[in-house]
Structures are given as C-alpha cells and as structure tokens.
C-alpha cells in the first residue's frame, strides 16, 4: 500500500507545485483522493493507468480539489473506457458535472455512478481488499477526510513447504485463515510449518483541508500514516485559524496525539517557495515527518 502525491499545493499552482490530488494504491487498485486542476496531466506524467481507477473521492467544494475532475472523466470516455466509475463527493458537485456534460452534448462511454457524501462519518466502500470511510473535518465549508484501510489477505503460503508435506492446493485458502491440515492417516501438519505471517492491516488517514482540531481523532487513532494539511508555517497561525487551515506545527501535534507512525505534510500555500521550514517546524514534535514531493510514492 502506497500513496503517490500528484499535487500538494493549496489554491494556486506555484513553483512547479500543483493543486491537491493523490493516488492511494491498494493491491492493484488506484484510489484517487481529490482532483485539482491538472490531475489528468499528472496521472499521465507519473505513469498511472486510468483503467485501474474505479473510485474517486472529493473532499469538498473548493475548486483546488475538484477543478480537474470534468476533464478527467471526459478524457476517460474519449479513450474508450468501459469499466464503471464511482465518484464520492458533496451533493453540490453533481449538477455542475451534469451541466458540463449536457452543454457539451457528451455521452460517456462508461457507467458513471455519483455517490453523495453524508454530513457525518460513513463507510463508503467495502471490498475484499480495502475499505474507505469518510469523516468530517473542520473547514470553512463542509469537508471530509478519508480513512483507507488495506485488509489482510491472511497468512502467506510457502509453496515448497506445502509440497514437502503433501498438502493439496485446494486447501491453501484454509491455510491462509490459519487452519492446520490433517492427512487421511491422521498426521497433523501445523499451519506455522507451511505458512508465514501475511501482510498486516494498513490504515491511511487523509485529513483534507482542516483547522487544528481533535474532533476527528477517533477516526485516525493509531493509523500507519497521516496526510495532514499545513497550508502555513506557525508564524502565520492567526491567518491559518481565520481560514480554517493548519500549520506544520499543528499537523505534527495531530499526528503525535493520534499515535501515528508517519506524517506526510502537504497543501502548501503558494507564498512559500522553500518548503524545508515545514520540516524544521514539525520534526521536533513528530520526528517521522515527510514534506511531500510531487511524484513521490510513500509506503504506508
């Protein structure tokens, strides 16, 4: 499980940085979180295949988080996409997209499913491999963060050991769930002899645009990685508070309180060319911090 940053700037593109968008890759599925202007260009630039994207999540209705969406869904159709696409977004986005498609007399080549985000928290997607939950954050308008959980696939099969102990392939799924194998002659083959620990459950919290708050702490407690906005440095904390944004120091405090393992910083104001001060401010509070770089993939 990894997250690739497509855009990490706030509001305006600046200094080569783009508005917010990122891809969370889970077992071969690519989940797109937010879709700022230029997202489809960034997807191409960093080698993502649009056919692997079946779910897009939009946190709120500020343009730097969805202005890239109309172009992306249209391009998918121009390229002959046939797989369904599911969009989870504020209800206000649907009439905007409908109007754009209607005015252009566009008929998409694929099924397009719009799912309205609730006001509070809710499970949005549940598959065999992952789940996605939304939770409200504290912003100037209704805004949601997203919790992506990669499920475990059970224990890892050791094929050589299975052949050595003459375990038939049909039993492998039961081995993954921890069962022992019993031969017809009564011999018991212990699960630990033929399997190893599988991939652990992984949890990634995308905290979107938010002021400094503990209001959504219950949803991000103990996660492996948090992406938290830090539009400003702490010298501009009053500006951050007035605009319902956070500073790098505040983002580090949230990660510390959540007991997270890793913090990713993003959503930088266009007033900053040099981003190293964000690391300098956050690191004393939360040492395992990354100042995100567009195109970089971070392991969860």
Query: Which are the catalytic amino acids?
Result: 64
Measured CA to CA, the distance from residue 26 to residue 125 in angstroms comes to 13
Contact 298, 290 (CB under 8 A): yes
- Dihedral through CA 262, CA 251, CA 18, CA 276, nearest 10? -80
Token representation of residue 65:
């988080």
Indicate the length of the chain as a whole number.
Answer: 300
Measured CA to CA, the distance from residue 177 to residue 275 in angstroms comes to 46
Long-range contacts of 214-218 (CB under 8 A, 24+ apart): 214/254, 214/257, 215/136, 215/137, 215/138, 216/135, 216/136, 216/137, 216/145, 217/254, 217/257, 217/258
3-state class (DSSP) for residue 228:
strand
Phi-psi region of 105 (alpha: psi -120 to 50; beta: other; left: phi over 0): left
Burial of 29 (0-12, 13-18, 19+ CB in 10 A): middle
Measured CA to CA, the distance from residue 278 to residue 203 in angstroms comes to 24
Strands 55-57 and 29-35, bridge-based pairing: parallel
What value does the CA radius of gyration of the chain take, rounded to a whole number of Å? 22
Q: What value, to the nearest 5°, has the Cα angle with vertex 133 and ends 132 and 137?
A: 135
Q: Which of 203, 202, 255 is nearest to 228 (CA)?
A: 255
């Amino acid at each position: 499980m990894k997250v690739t940053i497509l855009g990490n700037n706030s509001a305006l593109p600046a200094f080569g940085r783009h508005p917010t968008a990122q891809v969370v890759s889970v077992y071969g599925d690519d989940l797109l979180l937010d879709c700022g202007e230029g997202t489809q260009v960034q997807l191409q630039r960093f080698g993502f295949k649009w056919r692997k994207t079946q779910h897009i999540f939009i946190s709120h209705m500020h343009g730097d988080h969805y202005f890239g969406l109309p172009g992306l869904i249209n391009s998918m159709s121009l390229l002959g996409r046939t797989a369904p696409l599911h969009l989870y977004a504020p209800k206000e986005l649907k009439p905007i997209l409908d109007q754009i498609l209607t005015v252009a007399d566009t008929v998409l080549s694929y099924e397009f499913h719009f799912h309205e985000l609730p006001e509070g928290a809710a499970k949005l997607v549940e598959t065999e491999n992952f789940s996605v939950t939304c939770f409200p954050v504290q912003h100037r308008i209704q805004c949601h963060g997203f919790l992506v959980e990669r499920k475990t696939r059970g224990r890892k099969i050791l094929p050589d050991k299975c052949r050595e102990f003459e375990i038939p392939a049909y039993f492998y799924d039961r081995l993954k769930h921890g069962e022992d194998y019993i031969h017809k002659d009564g011999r018991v083959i212990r699960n630990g002899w033929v399997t190893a620990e599988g991939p652990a459950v992984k949890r990634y919290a995308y905290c979107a645009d938010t002021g400094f708050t503990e209001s959504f702490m219950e949803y991000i407690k103990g996660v492996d990685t948090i992406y938290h906005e830090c539009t400003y440095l702490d010298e501009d904390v009053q500006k951050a508070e007035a605009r319902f944004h956070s500073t790098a120091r505040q983002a580090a405090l949230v990660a510390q309180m959540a007991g997270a393992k890793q913090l990713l910083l993003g959503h930088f104001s266009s007033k900053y060319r040099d981003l190293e001060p964000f690391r300098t401010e956050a690191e004393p509070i939360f040492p395992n911090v990354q100042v995100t770089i567009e195109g970089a993939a971070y392991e969860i």
